[in-house]
Amino acid sequence: MADCSRSLFLCDNGSPMRFYVRPGRAKLRLAPLVLAGGGRLCRVQEPGAVLLAQPGEAAPGGAVSTDYVTECVRRNERLPLEPFRLPAAPAAAAAPRGRSAFSAAEDAALVRAVRERGEERARGRALWQELERAGLMRHSWQAMRDRYLRHLQRKGLFEAANREFETMESRNDASEISGELPTKERISPGETASGLKTVLQESAGPDTRLQMEEQPTSTCSSPSTVADAVKTMQCLMEKSSMDLLTITQAFLKNSGDVEATLHFLQTGRRQDGYPVWSREDDLELQKDDESVRNKLIAKFGAENVAKRIAFRKS
Query: Domain map of the chain by residue range?
Result: 18-89, 99-162, 169-313
CATH of domain 18-89: 3.40.50.10190
Question: Measuring CA to CA, which residue among 197, 253, 252 is closest to residue 226?
Answer: 197
- Going from the C-alpha of 102 to that of each of 58, 107, 117, 164, 234, the distances in angstroms are 15, 7, 21, 11, 29
The alpha carbon torsion through 155, 158, 160, 163 (nearest 10 deg) reads: -120
Distance separating alpha carbons of residues 246 and 183, to the nearest angstrom: 11
Whether 201 and 46 have beta carbons less than 8 Å apart is answered as no
Please tell me the predicted confidence (pLDDT) of residue 270. Answer: 83
**pTM listed for this prediction:** 0.37
Q: Cα angle vertex 127, ends 131, 117, to 5°?
A: 95
Beta-carbon contacts of 146 under 8 Å, excluding residues fewer than 6 positions away, are none
Give exposure, 163-174, as e/b (b: 16+ Cβ within 10 Å): bbbeebbeeebb
**Distance linking the first and last C-alpha atoms of the chain:** 39
Q: Are 86 and 63 in contact (CB under 8 A)?
A: yes
Q: Which residues contact 13 (CB under 8 A, 6 or more apart)?
A: none
d(CA 261, CA 250): 6
The bridge status of strand 40-41 relative to strand 18-20 is parallel
Cα-only R_g, the chain: 20
Pairing type for strands 64-65 and 18-20 reads unpaired
Predicted local distance difference test score (pLDDT) of residue 257: 86
Q: 99-162 maps to which CATH number?
A: 1.10.10.60
CA nearest 137: which of 94, 185, 84? Answer: 94
Per-residue pLDDT tens listing for the chain (314 residues): 556 788 999 998 889 999 999 888 888 889 999 999 999 998 877 778 999 998 877 777 789 999 999 999 999 999 999 999 988 766 544 444 445 688 877 888 888 888 888 888 888 999 999 888 888 888 889 989 988 888 887 655 455 555 555 554 443 333 333 333 443 333 344 444 444 444 444 433 443 333 334 444 445 656 655 556 667 777 877 776 666 767 787 888 888 888 888 888 777 778 888 888 888 888 888 888 888 889 999 999 999 898 898 888 76
The amino acid that residue 74 corresponds to is R
Q: Do residues 144 and 111 lie in contact, with contact meaning Cβ atoms separated by under 8 Å?
A: no
**H-helix or E-strand containing 19?**
strand 18-20
